[in-house]
Amino acid sequence: MIQQLLPMQISAFERYLQYEKRLSKHTLTAYLGDLKQFFNFLKLSYQIKDIQEIEHFHIRSWLVQLIGEGMTTKTIARKTATLKTYFKFLLRQGHISSNPMVKISTPKVGKKLPVYLQEKEINSLFEKLSLFSSDNFPDIRDQLMLLLLYGTGMRRAELISLETKNIFLNELNLKVLGKGNKERIIPVSPVLKSLIREYLKLRQNEFPEVNDKELLLTDKGKPLYPKFVYNKVKKYLSLITTVEKKSPHTLRHTFATHLSNNGAELNAIKDLLGHSSLAATQIYTHNSIEQLKKIYQKAHPKSGD
């Protein structure tokens, strides 16, 4: 039965995604969830006894059902990519003789401009944060967390895993471990350097017994976790902006957009963000173009003709 075949194959596929493709934990969970959903659909809709019986029309009918349920094109594209990777893996391992995905095309996803904050909003954010007590550990930790996200453009996972040993204050830079275990060096501003030093002193006084592996800690001296970071960022961004998305990634987009708007080269932004190619970084040039359009429409006497 197909249910008896799946555990071994999915277990091997999970190892492949984790150790060969080096997917993040979040992406890995999404891929495995997609597969579970797909095989639940096959179980309910078709009487398939062997994995080799799966054909393109089974897959297409699942995708049609997802569309009918109102699922976004972006999510369907992700699920299609999951199945393409999975069946390619099965073919390579000899579990199937033909790939049913060859007749399935991935839906095109229109690129949305990233949500970002205006410079005046960022200034307002850090003005509010600077009013907090300078000898209160949670307040200084929150300031540092937000300044790291905006001042370096690092991802939430990179922030959580940032280690004290990888911060080089004398050289004004730090090292992060990004996607695919790729390391990159990011410059640190003098303001950020000063805040890190202040935070480390407070942390030593607050939690002298805690080892200094992870830089940032919760109020109880434990390493940060994703929901903690998200909730903190959402709380503070809610004070200064009405943008719909108030997440750590919004600060990453803001970092890149402000660099682009102020003349930074695309290759430099790519390296700072840890993108593997320019394709992912080019979206920030669109933000700059939109900014130029607004300036033109506001300033040029003939822009309304």
Mean pLDDT by 10 residues, the chain (305 residues): 51 88 87 91 81 88 88 89 92 90 79 83 91 84 96 96 95 92 93 95 92 91 95 95 92 93 88 88 70 62 55
Q: What is the pLDDT of residue 5?
A: 45
Q: Which amino acid is at 84?
A: K
Q: How far apart are CA 172 and CA 182, in angstroms?
A: 20
Q: Which residues are catalytic?
A: 155, 179, 249, 252, 275, 284
Q: What is the pLDDT of residue 1?
A: 38
Residues 275 and 146: beta-carbon distance below 8 Å? no
Residues 218 and 206: beta-carbon distance below 8 Å? no
Q: How far apart are CA 123 and CA 207, in angstroms?
A: 31
Q: What is the pLDDT of residue 3?
A: 43
Q: What is the pLDDT of residue 264?
A: 87
Q: How far apart are CA 50 and CA 37, in angstroms?
A: 17
Q: What is the pLDDT of residue 4?
A: 43
| CB neighbourhood size of 302 (10 A) | 6
User: What structural domains does the chain harbor?
Assistant: 2-103 (1.10.150.130), 119-298 (1.10.443.10)
Q: Using alpha carbons, select from 188, 146, 156, 197 the residue that is nearest to residue 26.
A: 156
Q: What is the pLDDT of residue 121?
A: 95
